[in-house]
Every structure is written in C-alpha cells, then in structure tokens.
Amino acid sequence: MSAERPVVFVANRGEIAVRIVEAAHRIGAEAVVGVSVADRRTLAARRADRTVVIGPSAANASYLVPELIAQAAIQSGADVVHPGYGFLSEQPRLCELLEEEGIAFAGPRPETLRAIGDKSSARAVAVRAGVPVARAESLPDAADAQDVIRRGRSVGFPLLVKAVYGGGGRGIRLARDEDELLALVGEAEAEAQAAFGNGALYAERFYGAARHVEVQVFGDGKGGVQVFGDRDCSVQRRHQKLIEECPAPAIDEGRRRLLHDSSRALVRELGYRGAGTVEFLIDTRSSDIVFLEMNARIQVEHPVTEEAYGVDLVAAQLLLALGRDPELPDVDPVPPAVAIEVRVNAEDPARGFLPSPGRLHLVDFPRGPGIRVDTHVESGDEIPPFYDSLMAKLIVRASDRPHAVAALRSAVQRTRVDGVSTTLPVFDAVLDHADFVAGAVTTTWFGEMWEARDRVAEEG
C-alpha cells in the first residue's frame, strides 16, 4: 500500500461522491472517482485527482457491476474503495472481490452484509441481541391462500408485505385485512422477483401512526461500538425521507437509552465494522419501539449527525478501512447542537414528484453560520436522467430546535435553482406547519398534509 499518500477509489456518484472526495483529501489521500460516460464531467470528477470511466451511462452496466468497480480500483492503484450509499454499498460481492485483491472496503465485512442484508436474518440477529422487534412471519407461496391467511392473522392487521431481499423502501405494500392480503400477495411476489431477483416475502405488523427514529453507530470491527445519537426521519413521502434531524425531538430519556443500548448490542453482536444505522419505529399510540432494519452503510442523512456532534463520519470510515485510528470522540447521547437537513430533489412536487432532470442554468445556495450544503451541482451542470433525483442536501445547525427550524426556513428561501423543478416548495410548507414546528410527526403525516393541501388548492 502506498503509505505516504493512500489512494481512495470512489465507487459512487452524485453528492456522496463529492463528499467522499472531500473526506479523502481531508485525510491526505488521493481521490479517484469511477465514473460512467454520463458522469465524466461531474463535480465529483472535477474535484477528484483522477477519474476512470468504468462503463456506459446506465447504472446497471456501470455503477452496479462489482467486477467493473474492482477492476477500476485495481487499475487506479486504490488502497480503499468507498461505496457510498445505494449502488453496491451493501453488496458482499464487491467487498469480497476487493479484499481478494488486497484492497480495503470502507464498509462492513461481507458476512455482516449477508447477515443483515436479508431482512429475516437481520431480524434474527436483532432478536438474539435483545433488540425489540415487530411481530412478523415469512409468507408462503401466493398459491397457498390458506397458509397466507393463517400467517397474516398471526401477525395481526394492518400489516406490511415486504420483499425479503428488498431495500430502500421499495416494494412495500399495506394490507388492512385478509382480503387485501390475498389480493396483493401474488403481485408483490412477482414484483419482488423482478426487482430483487427473489420473490420471497414476509409480513410485518404495521404501525399506522409511528415515528421513524434511527441510531448512528460506528463499530471498530472487533466488537467495540460508538453511538452517535439518533435521528428522526419521519417526514417521508412513500417511504422516501424528505427531512431528517439530529437529535430526534421529544424522546424521553428512558426510550432514548433503550434505542441506543439496543443498537449498541446489535452492533456488538455483529462485530460490526464502520458506520451503520439501526432503524426503529416508535408507535405513537403504544410508545412501543420496534426494530425496522439495519443499514450497513453511510446514509444520505449522515450530515445531521456530523453537524450536531462535530464529527466526520466519512473520514472515519476511510481511516478505519486504512487500518488507522478513525479519530472519533466518545460523545453524549444527546448532542450539543441541533441539526436539520432537507433533501433538495430534482422533482416536481406539483406533478406528483415526477423526476425533473435537465440543465441547471443557475444554482445558488445560501451561506452563513451553521449552514452546510452537500451537493454535486453548480450552475451549468446537468441532472442526467439515468440516476436518482437527489441534487443537494441543505443542512443547518443551531443551539436548539426552534432556532434550527427558523434557520432552515430562511436557508430554503434563499436557495435558488433555475432550470429544473425541485422539492424546495415542499419545505416552505413543512417548515411553516404547526405540526412540524411542534416536533414528533409520524411517517404518514407528510403524505396526508400534502394531499390535503392539494385538495384545498383544487377546490380553492
């Protein structure tokens, strides 16, 4: 390994690729970005020391092929590959290919990825670690209607049907009763087969009014665990997060301790290596806490934790992978500041959040105390149609939540994007809303609020 200036290979695109390039430079490493044809001149490519064209624009022929990433990493003389989030970040295959070549993977070990990548096995690990879980059952073949109903009853209605090998909130369906369950299970099976290459399904008790709260962890790979507080990510649209904040508001000390202790136990049980997130639902009626899943990667919303605690989780991932001290301090369960993030997506909220790719004539983000912008676009750049619509994350930090909400409201209003539609108008509505200002909304709140707003607009 090139001890003097290690080489970091970035196996991702978009804002997280820029973020990893910055972290690589921060630790004194050289940054090489693997790009598709469409991404040859992106901000990440411009900021990188080198780029390598790994394949054509379509992600399934470039960013999603582990062999191409491994080959590009070898050709680049990489010491470590950072997979970002999405794409191959939780694929054991990439990790294995790299480790065979003596290249470090900035993520968990392949066996950990397997253990928690399959949701039923993740659940089993959680149970073993004493983490509270929702009642769930695996579902048999759709043809066996009687058994489907029997298992549905055992879970209790309403329930969610999920793909065992699914992820990212995709392919999840709600069944309020037995008839609905029977009606959707065949289609869900076909969809899971098409999307994830495996039609296996399971049913899990659905909490209709719940908050999404998650815990940021960092494991040393030997059972040592550090917990970096929690985040609330309840403002979601169709299971896609829109706003995240650290710490989660309105959590009493006892429940916070349960969340953190459960996460610590799970991570220790796994001998987990690197950054990860343990996701929970908190039922607002019963106050029950249940384990949702563990994400074995850096997450989109990691900046709120970084800002609230003043740490650099991406640099820590790289340092740990390079066999160095990740230089993370031990912190309190509640951070000294409050940070909130909005995801600025190139989508048109007035047209059902339809993706809105295109050329950005002008992009102007606010600056000022406590403002951070993680983005991959500048004026003149393009949002290509091949990939996800995340354009920028606008993050603010303040001494308390009311000040953070006010600062974010102002930052959103001062952000200018010309050329594509964005989700910015959504945040004007959310940040002014009394429910959000009060804190602790549920995961269905945004959808209902937005629909009601649309109805008023139509009638008005």
Partner 1 sequence: MSDAEPVTWDQILRLVSLLDDGELTEASIRFGDVTVEVSKGGPLTGSRPEASRPVPSPAASPAGASAPVAAGADAVLPSPGTPVPAPIIGVFYRASSPGADPFAVEGDDVDADRTIGIIEMMKMMNPVTAGVSGRLLGFAVADGQAVEFGQPLAYIDEAL
Q: Which is nearer to partner 1, 56 or 425 (CB)?
A: 56
Nearest approach in angstroms of CB 39 to partner 1 is: 12
Q: Which is nearer to partner 1, 50 or 176 (CB)?
A: 50
Nearest approach in angstroms of CB 51 to partner 1 is: 9
70 contacts partner 1 (rule: CB under 8 A): yes
Only segment of 52-60, 203-211, 347-355, 408-416 that touches partner 1 (CB under 8 A): 52-60
Q: How far apart are CA 43 and CA 358, in angstroms?
A: 16
Q: Are 2 and 79 in contact (CB under 8 A)?
A: yes
52 contacts partner 1 (rule: CB under 8 A): yes
Q: Which is nearer to partner 1, 79 or 279 (CB)?
A: 79
Binder to partner 1 among 11, 54, 155, 383 (CB under 8 A)? 54
Q: Catalytic residue numbers? A: 297
Largest distance between two CA atoms of the chain: 66
- Give the per-residue contact string, 89-128, with partner 1 (x = CB under 8 A; - = no): --------x-------------------------------
Only segment of 67-75, 129-137, 167-175, 385-393 that touches partner 1 (CB under 8 A): 67-75
Between strands 50-55 and 30-36, the pairing is: parallel
Nearest approach in angstroms of CB 2 to partner 1 is: 17
Only segment of 5-13, 68-76, 119-127, 399-407 that touches partner 1 (CB under 8 A): 68-76
Provide the residue type at 431 as one letter.
L
Three-state SS across 118-155?
Answer: CHHHHHHHHHHCCCCECCEEEECCCCCHHHHHHHHHHH
Q: Number of H helices and number of E strands within the chain? A: 15, 23
Nearest approach in angstroms of CB 87 to partner 1 is: 16
Q: Which is nearer to partner 1, 53 or 195 (CB)?
A: 53
Going from the C-alpha of 401 to that of each of 170, 231, 442, the distances in angstroms are 31, 13, 17
* Phi, psi dihedrals of residue 145, rounded to the nearest 5°: -60, -40
Q: What is the DSSP letter of 284?
A: T
- Give the per-residue contact string, 200-219, with partner 1 (x = CB under 8 A; - = no): --------------------
175 contacts partner 1 (rule: CB under 8 A): no
Q: How far apart are CA 104 and CA 288, in angstroms?
A: 39
Binder to partner 1 among 14, 55, 108, 303 (CB under 8 A)? 55
Reference 49, options 76, 85, 12; nearest CA is 76
Tokens 């901000």 -> residue: 43
Q: How far apart are CA 338 and CA 351, in angstroms?
A: 33
Reference 254, options 246, 262, 245; nearest CA is 262
Binding site for partner 1 (CB under 8 A): 37, 52-56, 62, 67-68, 70-72, 75, 97
